[in-house]
Structure 1
Amino acid sequence: MWRTPTLPSVVLLVAAALSACNAKPKADDPVAPTPVEAARVAAPDAAGSVGGAGTLERRREMALSFRIPGVLTAMRVEAGDSIRAGQAIAAIDPAGVDARQQQTAADLERARRDVERDRTLFDKGYVSRQRLDDRASALKAAQAAYDSARFDRRWASLVSPVSGVVLERRAQAGEVVAAGQVVARVADLGSPLVLRLPLAARDAARVRVGDTAQVRVEDFGDQALPGRVTRVGEAADTRTGAIAVEIELSAPPPALRSGQIAHASLAVRAAPGAATAYTRIPAEAVLEANGQRAFVFRFERGKARRTPVIFGGFDGDDALVAGLADGTQVITAGAGFVADGEAVRVIDPTRLDR
């Protein structure tokens, strides 16, 4: 059974309806700026620095091998052993070369007898001058074969050409080794410790013999060791295109060893004939590189600004660009996910994923 609403109830319903009609929709919350990372650009200098990582070596390091093949009968050293010049470090079975030496000795003796006999016959007019000349040529060939066999016999024992240390042993007694196969590497500890540094051609062109360098060795703290450029390669590596630069360490600590990885920074001058002065920025900041054209996003007053640059190529984790003013901030992490004019905020990298 329906009941008629009371007056107070009607008043409340009307008030609620009027309130609903007069209510305005809430405005959308503002979009939060996109978090990004940024790096500040330093203006390129006519003089600057280049750097890279390489391997420490003694200037005189040698890979030792036998001139002839054979069975390795003795390996008398281990890695780390001290050695002296002339010390025997390995030997191969000389049976084969001994047999060849005996054979060539017999051939030489026969050739000598042939020459003596034909010379007597030539004096008596029984043989021609041509035959005597042929015998003389055969004697020279036999002598050369004998000398070669004697020389090879000396190589049945491998001796160290320097006093120093064994860096590596690469063979064991009982193995068959080929001619030229490396069985050990040795170093002359009296020779300087140098850093072999592969550099891109554009950087190597700025390096000169005598340039100073600061060298830091991995696992050796943050100590900077002074060095000096002593050689700049004349040819690029056929596989990588890098040019080797040699840096001699001025006073290396005794604890440094050949084979350790080191990083070097060299004070250099501008590349000869360079028309454009490039500066380095993180490679991830460069977008849509095509030839010498590319663009980056600048961070300016809370906005991402698309900016064209001259692109000079990549060098490791860096990109070489021109056209950015000193102090410009370029967006690195996140550059591929923002648009021109979009609101962004630069944050600490450790908070980027929060």
Structure 2
Amino acid sequence: MKKYILLSLVIVVAVATIAVSKSQPEKKQTQKFKYVTAEEIKTEEIRLIIRTSGVLSARDEVLLSFKTGGIIKKVLVESGAQVKKGQLLAQLDLAEISAQRAQAESGLEKARRDYKRVENLFKENVATLEMKQNAQTAVDVAASNLKIASFNEKHSKIYAPANGKVLHRFAEAGELTSPGRPVLAFGNTGAAFVLKVGLTDRDMIRVQTGDSARVFFDAIPSKHFSATVKNIAAAATPGSGTFEAELQLENNGATLFSGFVGKATIFPKSSGHFKTIPFDAMQEANGKTGAVFVIKKSQIVEKRSIQIAHILDDRVAIFSGLEDATQVVIEGSAYLRDGDNIRIAKKDDKI
């Protein structure tokens, strides 16, 4: 009797085990997909603004330097000084340079005397034609040396090229300077101010001369300045890899100074076509990169990395990453993983 009871128990346990094993796949099957809401990816024509920053400078700003090297005798102006055209601003110690000019003058006088003597001898058939030609060449060389010495002496002084302002003073009296080393920065009075900004290659191809811009300075927080794109560099700046653009400001009476750091918003005339998605579709964002879940035809989600072009009011314009996608997940993505099966919920369904 006990054997029959034991056999019955074994059969019952086996049947129960089979029933449980059959029910488990069904349970998994009912949980193998997740409900989400989705939205179609749109393609829109958008005029994207460009935000950048730069440093203010006078449009006609120039660096003044000496043509020759030497010891600076005096610098007659300070930074911020208003000067008139032709005013003496700085001067080298002319002792050595004046001596070189005097030496060149003496050399020219000697060459001319030698030429006259050879010319007289040539007339008397004592000197040859070659000797006369060599004497003439010596005169020409001495005259050229005098021109060089006079030129160097003249450019050992710095004069104001126009009415304007000394923007910066780089050197002091007594310093030894080299040819071409900046001594003063000069800005023309009445010259327009420009904000020199850097543009990435992607932004540079969308900006044209004549595009409008708006500039803001932290030093003058209560005012914004209208500006126009005047110049765009044809080559990238070494080191930064950006393209320099000049935004010419329309001064509305405010006092501006070279060196102000400004923030600019450029409004390109040209527009472009971009794929746009709702802001809620963004799963991750870090600067100009982000991630979203896109829905493939097989109702499987794929996590995509995207490049952000611009954030609009409630949508995001995308540069790249959604080329072959048509839908993005809006709700229900908190627990999604790459490759999950999903079902798109209807309006009445609860996520």
TM over 0.5: yes
**In 2, Cα distance between the equivalents of 1:91 and 1:103?**
21
* Secondary structure class of the residue paired with 1:221: strand
Q: 2:320 is aligned with what amino acid?
A: V
> Could you tell me which residue of structure 1 aligns to residue 34 of structure 2?
none
Superposed, 1:104-183 pairs within 5 Å as 104-183=104-183
Q: In the alignment, is residue 307 of structure 1 matched against residue 303 of structure 2?
A: yes
Residues 42 and 327 in structure 1, CA contact (< 8 A), matched pair in contact too: no
The one-character-per-residue Cα deviations of 1:187-217 (angstroms, maximum 9, x if unpaired) are 1131111111110122111111111111111
> Could you tell me which residue of structure 2 aligns to residue 64 of structure 1?
64
Q: In the alignment, is residue 296 of structure 1 matched against residue 291 of structure 2?
A: yes
Q: What percent identity do the matched residue pairs reach?
A: 26
Q: 2:110 is aligned with what amino acid?
A: R
The one-character-per-residue Cα deviations of 1:330-354 (angstroms, maximum 9, x if unpaired) are 9xxxx9xx95599xxxxxxxxxxxx
> Could you tell me which residue of structure 2 aligns to residue 285 of structure 1?
285
**In 1, Cα distance between the equivalents of 2:327 and 2:210?**
32
> Could you tell me which residue of structure 1 aligns to residue 261 of structure 2?
261
Please state how far the C-alpha of 1:323 moved relative to its aligned partner.
Answer: 2.1
Structure 2 CA distance for partners of 1:322 and 1:340, relative to 1, 3 Å: closer
**In 1, Cα distance between the equivalents of 2:102 and 2:236?**
48
Residues 55 and 260 in structure 1, CA contact (< 8 A), matched pair in contact too: yes
* Secondary structure class of the residue paired with 1:285: strand
Please state how far the C-alpha of 1:321 moved relative to its aligned partner.
Answer: 3.3
Q: 1:250 is aligned with what amino acid?
A: E
**Aligned residues between the structures:** 282
Please state how far the C-alpha of 1:135 moved relative to its aligned partner.
Answer: 1.4
> Could you tell me which residue of structure 2 aligns to residue 99 of structure 1?
99
Q: 1:296 is aligned with what amino acid?
A: A
Structure 2 CA distance for partners of 1:278 and 1:229, relative to 1, 3 Å: farther
> Could you tell me which residue of structure 2 aligns to residue 184 of structure 1?
184
**In 1, Cα distance between the equivalents of 2:150 and 2:206?**
51
Q: In the alignment, is residue 321 of structure 1 matched against residue 320 of structure 2?
A: yes
> Could you tell me which residue of structure 2 aligns to residue 244 of structure 1?
244
Residues 115 and 135 in structure 2, CA contact (< 8 A), matched pair in contact too: yes
TM-score, normalization by structure 2: 0.69
> Could you tell me which residue of structure 1 aligns to residue 11 of structure 2?
none
Residues 171 and 184 in structure 1, CA contact (< 8 A), matched pair in contact too: yes
* Secondary structure class of the residue paired with 1:150: helix
The one-character-per-residue Cα deviations of 1:8-62 (angstroms, maximum 9, x if unpaired) are xxxxxxxxxxxxxxxxxxxxxxxxxxxxxxxxx9976343222210111110111
* Secondary structure class of the residue paired with 1:248: strand
Residues 90 and 158 in structure 2, CA contact (< 8 A), matched pair in contact too: yes
Structure 2 CA distance for partners of 1:175 and 1:295, relative to 1, 3 Å: closer
**In 1, Cα distance between the equivalents of 2:198 and 2:43?**
25
Residues 65 and 180 in structure 1, CA contact (< 8 A), matched pair in contact too: yes
Q: Which runs of 5+ in 2 are unaligned?
A: 1-40, 296-300, 311-316, 341-351
CA-based RMSD of the aligned residues comes to: 3.9
Q: Which runs of 5+ in 1 are unaligned?
A: 1-40, 343-354
